[in-house]
Homo-oligomer: A and B are copies of this chain.
Amino acid sequence: MTGVSRRRLFGMTGAGVAIAGTAAGTGYFAASRPDETAATVPFRGPHQAGITTPAQDRMHFVAFDVTTTDRAELAALLRDWTQAAERMTAGLEAIENGAVGGRTEAPPGDTGEALDLPASALTLTIGFGPSLFDGRFGLGDRRPAALLDLPHFPADNLDPARSSGDLCVQACANDPQVAVHAVRNLARIGFGKVAVRWSQLGFGRTSTTSRAQSTPRNLFGFKDGTNNLKAEDTAELDRHVWVQPGDGPEWMSGGTYLVARRIRMHIETWDRTSLAEQEAIVGRAKGSGAPNGAAEEFDPVDLQARSPDGEFRIAADAHIRLAAPATHGGVRMLRRGYNFTDGSDGLGRLDAGLFFVCFNRDPRTQFVPVQRMLSKKDAMMEYLEHTGSAIFACPPGVPPGGHWGDSLFG
């Protein structure tokens, strides 16, 4: 791969690269952590980036319908996408000299809005939806059984225009303009072969995927993801996230299954609920994040602990009890969701919530049974409405010289 950094083209012009610097003079900073904002995340490796990568601050997730019916054209697109994706995650234009260095009589090969911006830890993660295996492309016998059609869950209110898709790309970055630029350029490269089915911007991470990160808060105001799987838990990741040889079709070994759920949170109703009720529903203290009955955020979740009056400290219908690995025979998932706000709903309320993304080795034994229980029993469900849903098979990482479609197309 050749080419220079987008930013070197025009010098240090600064937009979006405001991050390197010293602590502000306001007295607010008592400490600092290493600046991850501008980092470059390697594109190639045994697994795709963007899964155990420390969760970036922002996300743009896109699902595509494939509009071509030509298998070779689809495979070629995946090759073209891979080249562009590798370049963009390195902080380069989608193609060399793409934005302003080409023939002026031709449309630019890069749309330009990230020209002055660093890589911003951009990752691009591809997934294949169940509908890609419907026979149009001769892939019917390659569909993994684990790539199931998700069942209907109680309280689902799914909008088809926010659900499903033949392909997905999850773009995560510390600068949203870099993530949006990447999705847009992939859509541009795919013009005539794919069409955007839906996309979702997430403004703030709700997950922690590395012990180097602190726990962020969701729009219920609670810390979210305290006991998430972490990149450092490699044995647990092999057990719960990465598809292992023998699990199913070999082309998915080293891959994982992504489930995305757009969860509208009825924050106005939540905000009129007492603090005690909120903490009972979640099962944690709102301030510290400590499990009910414990003192600190990372104290063990003791599902048996009872108060002097004999009641469970963590209520029988508390969210963290019903989602706990112990409630599901040890099942865990890697969560990687984002807070969203998409304007208002026409009824005087913000359209806000959590774009839930999880990665699992087999959703049939992980996401589906956990969500089935949550959707039936979780006290939090009163405040939630699932408005979008999708599942994708994320192939393994791309080796040197390889492309996104190699494992699937062989």
**Contact yes or no, B108 A288, CB < 8 A:** no
Find chain B residues with CB under 8 A from A214 CB.
13-15, 116
A16 to B214, CA, bound (A): 9
Residues of chain A in range 141-197 having any CB-CB distance to chain B below 8 Å: 161-162, 174-177, 180, 183-184, 187-188, 191, 195-197
Contact across chains for B216 and A286 when beta carbons are under 8 A apart: no
B-chain residues with CB within 8 Å of residue A34 when the two chains form the complex: 21-22, 24
Chain B positions within 8 Å of A33 at CB level = 14, 18, 21
Chain B neighbourhood of A346, CB < 8 A? 161
Are the C-beta atoms of B100 and A344 separated by less than 8 Å?
no
Give chain B residues whose Cβ lies under 8 Å from the Cβ of A201: 201, 203, 341-343
Contacts of A219 in B (CB 8 A): 111, 113, 180, 184
CA distance A275 to B60 in the complex (A): 26
**Closest chain B residue, CB of each to CB of A351:** B199
A339 to chain B, nearest CB (A): 7
Closest B residue to A276 by CB, please name it.
B104
A16–B177 CB distance below 8 A: no
Q: Tell whether A51 is near chain B: CB-to-CB under 8 Å.
A: no
User: Which of B5, B39, B272 is close to A107, meaning CB atoms less than 8 Å apart?
Assistant: B272
Q: 1/0 per position for A272-285, CB-CB distance to B under 8 A? A: 11111011000001
Complex alpha-carbon distance, A112 and B188, angstroms: 40
A32 at the interface (CB under 8 A from B): yes
Question: Do A221 and B99 touch (CB < 8 A)?
Answer: yes
CB pair B286–A99 under 8 Å, yes or no, is: yes
The docked-state distance in angstroms from the alpha carbon of A119 to that of B271 is 22
Question: A111 vs B352: C-alpha distance in the bound complex, in angstroms?
Answer: 13
Q: Which of B21, B104, B118 meets A279, CB within 8 Å? A: B104
B residues near A344, Cβ cutoff 8 Å: 62, 196-199
Find out whether the CB atom of B10 lies under 8 angstroms from the CB atom of A22. no
Contact with B along A75-118 (1 / 0, CB 8 A): 00000000000000001000000011011111110111111101
Mark interface residues in A286-307 (1 if CB within 8 Å of B CB, else 0).
1110000000000000000000
Residues on the B chain within 8 Å of A35, using CB? 18-19, 21-24
A362 CB to nearest B CB, Å: 30
Cross-chain contact B12 with A60 (CB below 8 angstroms): no
- Grouping DSSP codes into helix (H, G, I), strand (E, B) and loop, the A interface class, with mixed when no group exceeds half, is loop
Interfacial chain B residues near A195, Cβ < 8 Å: 347-349
Contact (Cβ within 8 A) A274 B113 = no
Question: Cα distance A278–B91 when bound, in Å?
Answer: 23
Q: How far is the CB of A181 from chain B (nearest CB, A)?
A: 9
Contact A112 B204 (CB under 8 A): no
CB distance from A67 to the nearest CB of B (A): 8
- B342 with A107: CB separation less than 8 A: no
- Give residues 44-70 of A contacting B (CB, 8 Å): 57-58, 60, 62, 65, 67
Q: Which of B57, B58, B107, B341 contacts A199 (CB 8 A)?
A: B341
Known: A99-B286, A119-B26. Contact between A217 and B104, CB under 8 A? Answer: no
The verdict on A36 contacting chain B, using a C-beta distance below 8 Å, is yes
Please provide the chain A residues from 307 to 354 with a CB less than 8 Å away from any CB of chain B in the complex.
Answer: 339, 341-344, 346-350, 352
Interface centre among A32, A197, A344 (most CB of B within 10 A): A344
A20 an interface residue at 8 Å Cβ cutoff?
A: yes
CB distance B180 to A286 under 8 Å?
no
Chain A residues numbered 108-136 whose CB sits less than 8 Å from any CB in chain B = 108, 110-116, 118-119
User: In the complex the two chains form, is B32's CB within 8 Å of A20's CB?
Assistant: yes
B107 near A273: Cβ-Cβ < 8 Å: yes
Asked whether any CB of chain B lies closer than 8 Å to the CB of A1, the reply is: no
The CA of A213 and the CA of B16, in the complex, are separated in Å by 10
Of the A-B pairs whose beta carbons lie under 8 Å apart in the complex, a sample of 10, sorted by A's number, is A9-B287, A19-B19, A22-B32, A24-B39, A26-B38, A107-B275, A108-B278, A175-B204, A184-B271, A197-B344
